[in-house]
Amino acid sequence: MEARNLAPQTAGIEMTKNKQAAPTWFTIVAWTMVVWNLMGLAAFFAQMTMSEAAMSELPEDQQKLYGEIPPWVIVAFAVAVFCGTAGAILLALKNKLSIPVLMLSLVGVLIQNGYMFFGSDTVAVMGAGQMILPAIVVLISIALVPLSLFAKKSNWMN
């Protein structure tokens, strides 16, 4: 009886790892980040569409603060929230494109918040307590990048 070679024929074919099912915690975190980023989009649109009447109801120092925001910070804010939302959706869908999109969002977040923390009078005008949410935004944006890299390394992404 002749022995048969039952090993898979892989000559010239690169073997790839099979996609693994992502754990439930990852799915919950990813979809929670979609909701989180949608709230960021809502905040962006609320700020960009604030009427003059609503602006005039703010204290004078806050009006001045909003009026002095440079256009490049607004662009960074837009990049942060649009890429953050797209990246979170891609992450929830387990798509590896989430990695560069979330990295781009992080750049936007760091530019926007760097200006807010160090390039403006935001802390003096709004108070240190009002900087907690922006600090959380920075931390979450930072955490999403290694999470997406970990998901790719764990073969949870397509």
pLDDT digits (tens, 9 = 90+) for 72-105: 999 999 999 999 999 999 999 999 999 999 999 9
Angle (CA) 58-81-76 rounded to 5° is 75
- Quick check: is 13 in a domain? no
- Quick check: is 39 in a domain? yes
Query: How many angstroms separate the Cα of 153 from the Cα of each of 55, 56, 130?
Result: 47, 51, 37
- Quick check: is 66 in a domain? yes
- Look at residue 30 in the predicted model and tell me its pLDDT: 97
- Quick check: is 14 in a domain? no
Domain count along the chain: 1
- Distance (Å, rounded) from C-alpha 113 to C-alpha 131? 10
CB atoms within 10 A of CB 150: 11
- Look at residue 42 in the predicted model and tell me its pLDDT: 96
**Helix or strand holding residue 148 (H, E):** helix 132-153
- Quick check: is 15 in a domain? no
- Quick check: is 54 in a domain? no
- Quick check: is 32 in a domain? yes
pLDDT at residue 125 is higher than 50: yes
Per the structure, the complete domain to which residue 39 belongs is given by 24-47+60-153
Distance between alpha carbon 53 and the CA centroid of its chain, in Å? 32
- Look at residue 18 in the predicted model and tell me its pLDDT: 72
- Find, among 14, 65, 74, the residue nearest to 43 by Cα: 74
- Look at residue 36 in the predicted model and tell me its pLDDT: 97
- Look at residue 71 in the predicted model and tell me its pLDDT: 95
- Quick check: is 6 in a domain? no
For residue range 4-60, what is the model confidence (pLDDT) as tens digits? 555 555 444 444 567 889 999 999 999 999 999 999 999 999 999 998 999 889 889
